[in-house]
Amino acid sequence: MDCPQQMNVKNLLLEFLHFNQTQYSGALDITTSYRHKFRIYYHQGSIIWATGGIHPHRRLRRHMAQNFPQVDLQSLQWRWQNLSINNWDYQLLSTLHQMQKIEWSQVNTIVENTVTEILFDIIQQAHCTHVLCDRRSEVVLDAPIILTNTEIILRRTYQLWQNWAKADLATISPNLAPSLNQPEQLQYQVSQSVYKSFINLLNGNYTLRDIAIKIKQDILPITRYLLPHINQGKIQLKEVKDWYLNLSNNATTSVDKSLIQNRNRLVAYVDDSPQLGQILGKIIIDNGLRFLHIQDSTQALVNLIEQKPDLIFLDLMMPCTSGYEICAQLRKISFFANTPIIILTGSNGIFDRTRAKVVGSTDFLNKPIVVEQVMIMLNKYLPVQSFANLSKL
């Protein structure tokens, strides 16, 4: 792994082209000043997949609805805990292709559109400030589904960005959701059919990209049409949460399904990742426990003291602080002297584990999050009395 480097748009594009020319295989991790994280996968110089960003689930939903709406995700025997791996979306597409539910041409379209969308978001954010790039040559996707024409995709994406910027939209993210701020005024400024569409679509639930797919039009003219109303304050743009996929739960583990029925127990998780919080939260809540996800690590100590959880999961690396520091601070408080504190880490290094033990951690949980391992921790560290039929295991 190389040292992360700060890059502007020009240097970033040159880096992409350099990877293409040098037949690079591996991954490129990109972190923006907005703390959005992306990962681009390369195979012999070609981009084969890209993931991350603010709405990975919305993005896949959109592309699936556009390209193969006939596929019912609920019918898939695909373990929902697989969402914890970095390339879960790629694995899902690969599974659909292997099951012959989608054609190769559909996969090709989704890969190219996904890569284009992510590159656009990265370029837009790099236009405002530097982004941090980290080469990860050790991260390799096995058996790539397709090899894109990287140079063509880069040229096309940059042209899309230039058109977007020329339309005075450089500061507007297509991931924002428009909502009517002054509907009564708009009613008399647009036709009834347009106003009806506004009411149905501009409700703060759908992003500009979502709307473009719904009405089957290009996002640029749609946003350009809305821009005067946005500038006048009649339509406002706001950030929205991701729409998480609700995959089949049929393949979940049989490990202690009886950890159920005690709603008084609280499990806390400190991590800035909303995706991992969603995954761990589902496991905890499905097993009859309450769940608290703390994303702002600077407020973690205050929230934990206030809520007094029975079990605490801490991510090792977070902005502004670390799992080590929070663990050490908690152990200085008498109430948390014996509270189980489990540190999540993507590393199996002895140094990390030794340091964590020194500051008072109880145990470790390796990433990616796997339901069986979480269940083992719950069984091990929460009091036996909280589990029904535990003696039958």
Topology given in CATH for the domain delimited by 266-392: Rossmann fold (3.40.50)
Q: What is the pTM of this model?
A: 0.63
Q: Residue 177 CB: number of other CB atoms within 10 A?
A: 21
Per the model's pLDDT, the better-predicted residue between 70 and 114 turns out to be 114
- Segments making up each domain of the chain, as ranges: 5-166, 177-238, 266-392
Residue 115 in contact with residue 50, Cβ under 8 Å? yes
CA-based nearest residue to 9, from 149, 137, 165: 165
Residue 360 in contact with residue 341, Cβ under 8 Å? yes
Residue length of the chain: 393
Return the pLDDT at 286: 76
Question: Residue 48 above 80 pLDDT?
Answer: yes
Q: What is the pLDDT of residues 166-197, one digit of tens each?
A: 999 999 999 999 998 877 777 777 777 887 88
Per the model's pLDDT, the better-predicted residue between 74 and 339 turns out to be 339
Percent of the chain with pLDDT over 90: 39
Out of 86-100, 276-290, 343-357, which region has the weakest mean confidence (pLDDT)? 343-357
Return the pLDDT at 140: 80
Question: Residue 1 above 50 pLDDT?
Answer: no
Question: Residue 90 above 50 pLDDT?
Answer: yes
Return the pLDDT at 2: 61
- For the chain, counts of helices (H) and of strands (E): 14, 12
CA-based nearest residue to 89, from 51, 53, 115: 51
Return the pLDDT at 347: 63
Return the pLDDT at 248: 45
| Cα–Cα distance, 153 to 113 (Å, whole number) | 9
DSSP sequence for 106-134: HHHHHHHHHHHHHHHHHHHHHHHS-EEEE
Return the pLDDT at 242: 86
Output the six-digit token pair for 278. Answer: 């969603």
Place of tokens 């990877």: 19
Return the pLDDT at 256: 38
Residue 16 in contact with residue 150, Cβ under 8 Å? yes
Query: pLDDT category, 123, cuts 50, 70, 90?
Result: very high
Q: Residue 285 CB: number of other CB atoms within 10 A?
A: 13
What is the CA 213 to chain-centroid distance, rounded? Answer: 21
Across residues 114-128, what is the average pLDDT? 95
Question: Residue 78 above 60 pLDDT?
Answer: no
Task: Quote the mean pLDDT of the chain.
Answer: 83
Please name every residue paired with 178 in a beta bridge, in sequence order, or none if there are none.
Answer: 237
Q: Give the 3-state secondary structure of 187-231.
A: CCCCCHHHHHHHHHHCECCCCHHHHHHHCCCCHHHHHHHHHHHHH
Q: What is the pLDDT of residues 215-272, one digit of tens each?
A: 899 999 999 999 999 999 989 999 998 887 655 444 333 333 333 334 568 999 999 8
Angle made by CA atoms 22, 27, 33, in degrees to the nearest 5:
115
